[in-house]
Structure 1
Amino acid sequence: MANPSYDVIVLGSGPGGYVAAIRCAQLGLKTAIVERENLGGICLNWGCIPTKALLRSAEIKHYMDQAASYGLKVAGTIEADLDAIVKRSRGVAKQLNQGIGHLMKKNKITVHMGEGTLTGPTSMTVAGAKGSENLIAKHVIVATGARARDLPFAPADGKRIWTYRHAMVPPEMPTKLLVIGSGAIGIEFASFYNDMGVDVTVVEMLDRVVPVEDVDVSTFLQKSLTKQGMTIMTGAGVEGLKPHANGVTATIKDNKGSVATTEFSHVISAIGIVPNTENVGLEPLADMDRGFIQIDPFCRTKSKGLWAIGDCTPGPWLAHKASHEGVTCAEAIAKEMGNADAHPHPLNRDAIPGCTYCHPQIASVGKTEAAAKEAGYDVKVGNFPFIGNGKAIALGEAEGFIKTVFDAKTGELLGAHMIGAEVTELIQGYTVGKVLETTEAELMQTVFPHPTLSEMMHESVLDAYGRAIHF
């Protein structure tokens, strides 16, 4: 029996892989996808989506705790039902996983469940429940994603030391939680468990939390989290963890060099990711840097016919970046195969928004003020606080601000940085502006609806040029 043959095989079905497969199919290419675990990958099953379901539960609890400030009375105490919260989160993931299966059928994409290993740039073996099979194609897209990085001295055991995956399905509610790392994953789980009533400590090696964000956002967030009851230690490091039957003994060096041991019930390690590129057969086929596959702007590797997208390639490691690369890659393949209607565009990394779903939320796109100055720009900076916005006050969400950074010479929008309620929804306005290469003139002339939080976006632009109306 001949080996199954395709135009494109996608290895991995996360937000990069399944989107790439769908776009390939839309472009008329015979497409297959290989997945070893769950359709939808980590993001849909164990990352972006189920964590947002958890955070939604925490948000509802937060508002219930604040009911009196909205003129409402709640009878009795408000308690978190951990089992029910986790069950809801897993149900959301299951529903979307089934949706991906439907999309594969709708687009006539063949699904091979099993462990895929490259035998060449355009061929692979797949070891699954039904045994091993050999697949060949004209093109292969590697979308194998990444996993949580373990602490070298204390790997996660799922009992007392957790990765994000363990933290989503906890066997019990922590009483005193240590979160190591203050990137998006660490801060989101810190925020979730803090809202659930857990005593949370965050340790960050660098000198500020969410260190990839604008320094003003980092400063504001640290003050907010501290006010919410968290202990935040920056410029600090965890030097040792000793799990035992009742918890974990942590040895922590603070920013003054003092070392102390503290007891915690559980620890979440959120110190970064490791690409899933070992044992895939990539070594002779692609250039690698710390395990990440090196690609050109259209996602090609050094081997003809072999492509790579998503978290197994250089960052930023975000689901929407992976999906966008999937489309770019699919269209580049279609163009190579003679489709005159395919017009791939390289990814503009400076126009990829980032969102962190803590409380308050964080969102940003483009350069920070510091990065813009380091790049040689003379900048104009606008800043507008939530307290100056009527909708924010009416919502009872007057905490936060919106900051915009412009090139003083051309008016180009270089970056936007937000912290506060629903900013993860607002950021796309500035992202569209960057893709359209807008300047301050177009943004000033745009009519923003009233009353909305989006009015602050307008005011921040006006403020950069000394024209803010409401503050």
Structure 2
Amino acid sequence: MSEAFDLVILGSGPGGYVAAIRAAQLGMKVAIVERERLGGICLNWGCIPTKALLRTSEIYHYMTHADAYGLSATGVSFDLAKIVERSRKVAGQLNGGVKGLMKKNKVTVVEGVGALTAPAEVTVTTGDTTRVLTGKNVIVATGARARDLPGVAADGKRVWTYRHAMVPAEMPTKLLVIGSGAIGVEFASFYSDMAAKVTVVEMLDRVLPVEDEDVSAFMAKALAKQGMTIVTGAKVSDVKPGADSVSATITTADGKATTDSYSHVIVAIGIVPNTENIGLEALGVKTDRGHIVTDGYGATGVPGLWAIGDVTGPPWLAHKASHEGVIAVEKMAGLAGVHPLDTGNIPGCTYSRPQVASVGMTEAKAIAAGHAVKVGKFPFIGNGKAIALGEAEGFVKTVFDAATGELLGAHMVGAEVTELIQGYMVARQLETTEVELQHAVFPHPTLSEMMHESVLDAYGRALHY
């Protein structure tokens, strides 16, 4: 016997649970299926617990550099078990928060492994029991998992994925990070600040390769200055875990191969969508390299079947998934004025030290798209608040269309830029031009003044540098 709902959601990550809440607000009877923990990867094994770890390493960095602030801190040390415990408590608190939200919004939570057995039917298996849920609509929000290095399976001892790296039983002494996207750079930053000797290897020609080239160049120098070894245009092979170490061979673009030994390896080379064994093939759902193909509203082409979040492709970001969930639900509900997702207005953030944040086109992509551009750039060293904070390294860069004044993109690197980027995202959402941004009044003293100065600089009007 099946249970009928207006909407059944497969997966309770930031896409799934937000979609459930919005659907409940619109009067739908909703069920959400989760095989592990409410909140998905982001709340339990990604966005949130990693930020807890990075906050610890940031404070540890300040404590070990207290003299720069006229302070004295002696005998500074850390307890790895307590660091991990704090991170897990943060994740647990938010998991409990999602449970509370589901109860508040009268969303039925079904624990177990779900699969599509018809376009409007999800069968959930829990142990030896099954439960059939039918929905007028079904949303697939099954997310993604870490991609393994070919030929090497992460064992959780010497070779880690992000999950292992968040709950280390021991602190690495010599760490190899394979991949320099946001995940790789964040873990490199955390472990480096906690005194590990870190090597980062990137297959492409620059770290953080999706970011603006100026940001990538700055980050490479900043990470090297912190003591990391940065190797780009290289590949890693022959990863061989042992009892107390792991060996790996790094081959650079010129063909030179070097084999070395490390205490641990973190593999951060991307993700794999969770699309296997959930019934997509039988329903004729289109996929592209494993990701579900959707339109701008999350529709799959199969009537009543929708997909959102990491399972649908890049950018693989929690806030993108949440927004997609709201759009899909409002579209299926027939609300007027629902707009398709504009991925150009989705900000990206890397919470390393220094932080990186961006939205819109890089300078290179803007030029490649045929724009004549005006580019502004303002350094942290020209900002009073940054100097007072002792965080005078970094810059803010803005890219405008020279003919129309459209803000094509904004790129930042430095302290707290992940909190600043939202200003430029709102400006793009409102289709603001350089004129409005030039006339906006920014509070003093704040880091946000650099945003204003960068805009002014694009038009030869910077005041403080």
Q: What is the TM-score normalised by the length of structure 2?
A: 0.99
| Partner residue in 2 for 1:347 | 341
CA distance in 1, matches of 2:175, 2:394: 26
CA distance in 2, matches of 1:363, 1:268: 23
Code of the residue aligned with 2:150 in structure 1: it is P
Q: Would you say the 8 A contact 2:8–2:122 is kept in 1?
A: no
Q: Would you say the 8 A contact 1:334–1:342 is kept in 2?
A: no
| Partner residue in 1 for 2:203 | 205
Q: Give the secondary structure class of the aligned counterpart of 2:333.
A: helix
Q: Would you say the 8 A contact 1:364–1:415 is kept in 2?
A: yes
| Partner residue in 2 for 1:320 | 319
Post-superposition shift, 1:130? Answer: 6.9
| Partner residue in 2 for 1:236 | 234
Pairing partner for 1:454 from 448, 456, 461: 448
Which stretches in structure 1 are left out of the alignment for 5+ residues? 336-340
CA distance in 2, matches of 1:129, 1:208: 47
Post-superposition shift, 1:255? Answer: 3.0
CA distance in 1, matches of 2:149, 2:446: 44
Pairing partner for 1:78 from 76, 79, 88: 76
Worse-superposed segment, 44-53 or 63-72: 63-72
Within a 5 Å distance, the mapping from 1:254-333 to structure 2 comes to: 254-285=252-283, 286-333=285-332
Q: Give the secondary structure class of the aligned counterpart of 1:298.
A: coil
What percentage of residue pairs aligned between the two structures are identical? 69
Check if 1:43 corresponds to 2:42.
Answer: yes
Post-superposition shift, 1:256? Answer: 2.3
Code of the residue aligned with 1:465 in structure 2: it is Y
Which stretches in structure 2 are left out of the alignment for 5+ residues? none
| Partner residue in 2 for 1:178 | 176
Check if 1:400 corresponds to 2:394.
Answer: yes
| Partner residue in 2 for 1:163 | 161
Code of the residue aligned with 1:378 in structure 2: it is A
CA distance in 1, matches of 2:389, 2:168: 32
CA deviation profile, 1:326-357 (whole Å, cap 9, x unmatched): 0000101111xxxxx55422111100000000
Q: Give the secondary structure class of the aligned counterpart of 1:91.
A: helix
CA distance in 2, matches of 1:256, 1:62: 36
CA distance in 2, matches of 1:311, 1:221: 26
CA distance in 2, matches of 1:93, 1:39: 11
Q: Would you say the 8 A contact 1:181–1:269 is kept in 2?
A: yes
Post-superposition shift, 1:12? Answer: 0.1
Within a 5 Å distance, the mapping from 1:67-146 to structure 2 comes to: 67-74=66-73, 76-129=74-127, 131-146=129-144
CA deviation profile, 1:236-279 (whole Å, cap 9, x unmatched): 11021010011101111023211111000000000000000000
CA distance in 2, matches of 1:277, 1:344: 27
Post-superposition shift, 1:151? Answer: 0.7
Q: Would you say the 8 A contact 1:242–1:249 is kept in 2?
A: yes
CA distance in 2, matches of 1:13, 1:343: 26
CA distance in 1, matches of 2:323, 2:131: 30
CA deviation profile, 1:209-256 (whole Å, cap 9, x unmatched): 000000000000000000000000001110210100111011110232
| Partner residue in 2 for 1:391 | 385
Pairing partner for 1:189 from 183, 187, 196: 187
Post-superposition shift, 1:131? Answer: 1.3
Q: Give the secondary structure class of the aligned counterpart of 2:250.
A: strand
Code of the residue aligned with 1:451 in structure 2: it is P
CA distance in 2, matches of 1:365, 1:198: 32
| Partner residue in 1 for 2:15 | 16
CA deviation profile, 1:279-333 (whole Å, cap 9, x unmatched): 0001133101111000011100021000000000021000000000000001011
CA deviation profile, 1:66-98 (whole Å, cap 9, x unmatched): 110100011x32112110100000000000000
RMSD over aligned CA atoms reads 0.8
Code of the residue aligned with 2:107 in structure 1: it is I
Q: Give the secondary structure class of the aligned counterpart of 1:112.
A: strand
Q: Give the secondary structure class of the aligned counterpart of 2:281.
A: coil
CA distance in 2, matches of 1:412, 1:249: 50
